[in-house]
Amino acid sequence: MIDQAATDFEAVHGARPTGVWAAPGRVNLIGEHTDYNDGFVLPIALPHATKVAARRREDGRVRVYSAQGDGTITDLALDGLAPGVVTSWAAYPAGVFWALADAGHAIGGADLYVDSDVPTGAGLSSSAALECATAAALNDLYGLGLTAPEIALVAQRAENAFVGVPCGVMDQMASACCTEGAALFLDTRTMEQRHVPLDLEAAGLRLLVIDTRVKHDLGDGAYAALRAGCERAADLLGLEALRDLPAADLDAALERLPEELAPLVRHVVTENQRVVETIEHLDAGRTAALGPVLTAGHASLRDDFRVSCPETDLAVEAAVAAGALGARMTGGGFGGSVIALVETADVEAVAEAVRSAFATAGFAAPVAFTAVPSAGARRLA
């Protein structure tokens, strides 16, 4: 796999790469739409990763090629990069060059060859994987000495300011900072992190990821509107962020809010609580107790935050009916993927129940796989 990336790099760019780097996709166990409210998240990195083979260039050119692209090299001048200039997929890696240079880091050009097995647009964060693998490569090629959280922040800036997607920081932090065998508990206000051991196999469990293969277009605009709604609610309540509303004050706060904002606030406050509850279960070795917390999180996203869709709702419902301990949509919503916590012996039956429910409903066939907590961004060779 590593040799393949190096060989493919050579075929495209005409020389051996200096190295190969990788950064994973992620699923978030719990803590959805909390990262732009200064709240808590708990993602794991997937075994699926984006590999970047790379080599410095001394002429200030940025030349990027993706095995998932259109078969051509995108060739850009580093000093010509600015938000809005690149509109193809290449904006993700180019944005990382731009964000590093804009932050004052002494970088030059590079040749990149990208190859990934992270499904794109499935809510599994192929975008963060691409950004973080690119940032990890440039960090080493130019000896920048960035830490994993610093790589994540550069990657997020690339996506926010260069690509133009107003995402929170969870995806990039997960891709850059996760470790094998653990979930990443992140406080998105302080950026404080804790790696919480998660050994599903030892608990007789598996995490089933179900990619519904749908992405509804309203997602992009809706995300910005939800984000703005949360900010307006925090303003009305006189808070810096919804993170600052104690659960004990929730009911009183809801009465002071307009009808359209109250459910958003209820989701964010209860979701932060669910992250804390999940951590308590994990610390106490009660892995199976995560199930009902996941399902409650889905109900909140469906009924209060309203970012689920018929496909994710059906996947959750079918998984739980077939014996999953719990299930929820993961990622921003409007399609994407669902996670289900399942006893090892039930994995196939639950996956089959979801496939069968989708077929009956006339939905496209979903793709299901099991995932273990895997490593964050790293150099492979």
- The backbone torsions φ and ψ at residue 180, rounded to the nearest 5 degrees and listed phi first, read -60, 140
Q: Find the shortest distance in angstroms from Cβ 308 to ligand ADP.
A: 16
Which is the catalytic residue, given 171, 235, 244, 283? 171
Structure tokens, 111: 């040749």
Structure tokens, 138: 């440039």
**Residue 127 contacts ligand ADP per CB under 6 A:** yes
Task: Tell me if residue 3 is catalytic.
Answer: no
Are the C-beta atoms of 353 and 318 separated by less than 8 Å?
yes
Angle between helices 126-141 and 91-102 (to 10 degrees): 50
Are the C-beta atoms of 286 and 49 separated by less than 8 Å?
no
Question: Judged by CB under 6 A, which of 34, 37, 74, 125 binds ligand ADP?
Answer: 125
Which of ligand ADP, Mg ion, none sits in contact with 66, Cβ below 5 to 8 A by type? ligand ADP
Q: Find the shortest distance in angstroms from Cβ 142 to ligand ADP.
A: 22
Give DSSP secondary structure letters for 64-83: EEETTTTSS-EEEEGGG--T
Q: Find the shortest distance in angstroms from Cβ 127 to ligand ADP.
A: 3
Which of ligand ADP, Mg ion, none sits in contact with 123, Cβ below 5 to 8 A by type? ligand ADP
- Pick between residue 127 and residue 312 the one whose CB is nearest to ligand ADP: 127
- Pick between residue 28 and residue 127 the one whose CB is nearest to Mg ion: 127
Among 89-97, 127-135, 209-217, 327-335, the segment contacting Mg ion (CB under 5 A)? 127-135
Identify the three-state secondary structure at position 142. Answer: coil
Sign of CA dihedral 64, 69, 73, 75: negative
Torsion of CA 357, 347, 210, 273, to 10 degrees: 110
Residues between 85 and 124 that touch ligand ADP (CB under 6 A): 89, 92, 114, 116, 120-124
Are the C-beta atoms of 326 and 341 separated by less than 8 Å?
yes
**Residue 50 contacts ligand ADP per CB under 6 A:** yes
Are the C-beta atoms of 268 and 39 separated by less than 8 Å?
yes
Q: Which residues pair with 43 in a beta bridge?
A: 28
Report how far residue 39's alpha carbon sits from residue 225's, in angstroms, rounded to the nearest whole number: 18
Alpha helix positions (H), 38-121: 91-102
- Pick between residue 7 and residue 120 the one whose CB is nearest to Mg ion: 120
Number of residues located near ligand ADP, criterion CB under 6 A: 17
Question: Judged by CB under 6 A, which of 34, 126, 278, 308 binds ligand ADP?
Answer: 126
- Would you give the end-to-end CA distance of the chain in angstroms? 11
Q: How many CB atoms lie within 10 A of CB 101?
A: 16
Report how far residue 210's alpha carbon sits from residue 190's, in angstroms, rounded to the nearest whole number: 32
**Residue 127 contacts Mg ion per CB under 5 A:** yes
Are the C-beta atoms of 164 and 223 separated by less than 8 Å?
no
Residues between 55 and 74 that touch ligand ADP (CB under 6 A): 66, 68-69
Q: Find the shortest distance in angstroms from Cβ 50 to ligand ADP.
A: 5
Residues between 22 and 81 that touch Mg ion (CB under 5 A): none
- Pick between residue 68 and residue 193 the one whose CB is nearest to ligand ADP: 68
Q: Find the shortest distance in angstroms from Cβ 91 to ligand ADP.
A: 7
- Pick between residue 46 and residue 130 the one whose CB is nearest to ligand ADP: 130
Instruction: Give the length of the chain.
Output: 381
Q: Find the shortest distance in angstroms from Cβ 175 to Mg ion.
A: 10
Among 7-15, 75-83, 125-133, 220-228, the segment contacting Mg ion (CB under 5 A)? 125-133
Q: Find the shortest distance in angstroms from Cβ 152 to ligand ADP.
A: 14
Question: Which active-site residues does the annotation give?
Answer: 171
Q: Which residues bind Mg ion (CB under 5 A)?
A: 127
Residues in touch with ligand ADP (CB under 6 A): 50, 66, 68-69, 89, 92, 114, 116, 120-127, 130
